[in-house]
Structure 1
Amino acid sequence: MRKSPQWVFGAGGLFTLLVIWEVVGRTVFADSRAVPPPTAILGQLFADGFGFYWPNVETTLREAGMGWLWGNAIAIVLAVVMVQVPLVEKALMQLALASYCLPVIAIGPVLAVLFSDDTPKVILAALSVIFTTLVGALVGLRSADRTSLDLVRAYGGGSWTQLWRVRLRASLPSLFAGLRIAAPAAMLGAIIGEYLGAESGLGVAMINSQQSLAVERTWGIALVATALSGAAYGLTALVGRLLTPWAPRTVR
């Protein structure tokens, strides 16, 4: 008997969840409206329309995208330095770990005082991705085939030649594993930054809808943010598969 594709089970599970959600929203939470049914959320989402969502989505995507780029660039540079200069690895790893452990909700107001415009949100998004990508890049750079490294050295190549010829290619599967996790993390960092102070963005829109008791709109904004994070994760995973066809699917 032929097995059904995995997406069939996923779609079935999602449909079942939506049906249960609809029933619970119209019965258990009918009076409080704390959990509106999906049909009401979608109705409000379409009523708000493109004009409401796009300016906020564009702002959040810009902040998250810039943070993702800067954070990942810093992480990759740190990983290369750690591999090439092992003497500084411990200090740099402790610094990266400290940045990962910093409570975003605590440093956000400080960044808002120090910087203006989108800078605080970009920094928070970058801090949200550095450690994850650093670990993936570091594992990947060190997974290079020892025989290939020895061959480069036998032909007179140094550590930088090994990096360029062998390590960078070997690091791609693990690097993309970190990058795809970093994508939704950057979205979260940007939205938290907007919560702490901004003029526009999904975080600001959510605060305004909460204050006006627009429950369906609040849920709609949350679903849009979730969809964007999922799309960013999926797009990064797709690019990783296209660029690393030799890697096992579990790694990509």
Structure 2
Amino acid sequence: MIGATLGAILVVVLVWQAAVWVLDPPPFMLPAPLRVAETLVSRAPFLLRESAVTGIEIVFGLFFGIAAGALLGLSVEAFPRFGRLLWPVLLVLQAMPVFALAPLLVLWFGFGLTSKVVMAALVIFFPVASAFADGLRRTDPDLLDATAMTQASHWQSLWHVRVPLALPALATGIRVAAPFAPLGAVIGEWVGASGGLGFVMLQANARMQTDTMFAALAVLAAATLFLRFLADALTRRLAPWAPETR
């Protein structure tokens, strides 16, 4: 998978370079890949410092988003009456564009770290909660009937049968959601921040420093790819018996 990803990146860079040769756009509209690489090297300390800000937002957003999503997915199935009341509300909230909430989050939580963490967590929360709840809901009825014959309690059945069988669904939800965490953090930074890769992009765009903006995008893309590979590796450990994670 890593080889295929690197190959795809190489193809994108070659097409990008060919477009620059053929169209010859002004550098402020589309800089050449070599110029972006030079900016990455020359401004590496600055980009690393701003990447650390966004990285902290991503890490906390991932932690809280996955934890809250898994807890809610478990709760709506552990407490059926609670789930019947809450799940329609969550579906309505999920239908709302999460990014449209970014200005409100900045208004409520300020321009600091909290609003970006909440934004990243919200992007992750819904896919994780939906996937885990769906996995719990799809437990084979025959297994539940067999468990009932052992006189196991509702909680014993949930913890020892339904949760292990739903872990592959939870793993899928995490794999799908994790790469969106950087996007959530950057959207929060675009609305209001004093640091981070999103802030760098806004400042570079305002000053027509397109090479710096592309360099920040490259760092963000690398972070997103890393998160995807990390999520794949961790979810294999979470549910090693699942065919799709072997």
TM-score, normalised by the number of residues in structure 1: 0.87
1:176-216 superposed Cα distances (whole Å, 9 cap, x missing partner): 11111211222111111111111111111111111121111
Q: C-alpha displacement at 1:23, in angstroms?
A: 1.8
Q: 2: distance between equivalents of 1:108 and 1:182?
A: 18
Pairing 1:41–2:39 present: no
Mark the CA change 1:67 to 1:11 in structure 2 (over 3 Å): closer, same or farther.
closer
Mark the CA change 1:13 to 1:188 in structure 2 (over 3 Å): closer, same or farther.
closer
Mark the CA change 1:189 to 1:201 in structure 2 (over 3 Å): closer, same or farther.
same
- One of 84, 87, 93 as aligned partner of 2:87: 93
Question: May I ask how many residue pairs the two structures share in their alignment?
Answer: 245
Q: Is contact 1:60–1:187 with CA below 8 Å preserved after alignment?
A: yes
Contiguous gaps of at least 5 residues in structure 2: none
Q: For 1:1-252, what aligned pairs fall within 5 Å after superposition?
A: 11-31=6-26, 33-49=28-44, 51-116=45-110, 117-249=112-244
Q: C-alpha displacement at 1:12, in angstroms?
A: 4.3
Mark the CA change 1:58 to 1:161 in structure 2 (over 3 Å): closer, same or farther.
same
Q: Is contact 1:152–1:162 with CA below 8 Å preserved after alignment?
A: yes
1:3 matched residue in structure 2: none
Mark the CA change 1:213 to 1:21 in structure 2 (over 3 Å): closer, same or farther.
same
Contiguous gaps of at least 5 residues in structure 1: 1-5
Mark the CA change 1:74 to 1:14 in structure 2 (over 3 Å): closer, same or farther.
closer
Higher helix proportion (structure 1 or 2): 2
Q: Is contact 1:64–1:122 with CA below 8 Å preserved after alignment?
A: yes
Q: Is contact 1:78–1:92 with CA below 8 Å preserved after alignment?
A: no
Q: Is contact 2:171–2:239 with CA below 8 Å preserved after alignment?
A: no
Mark the CA change 1:204 to 1:14 in structure 2 (over 3 Å): closer, same or farther.
closer
Mark the CA change 1:217 to 1:179 in structure 2 (over 3 Å): closer, same or farther.
same
Percentage identity across paired residues of the two chains: 29
Q: 2: distance between equivalents of 1:190 and 1:20?
A: 29
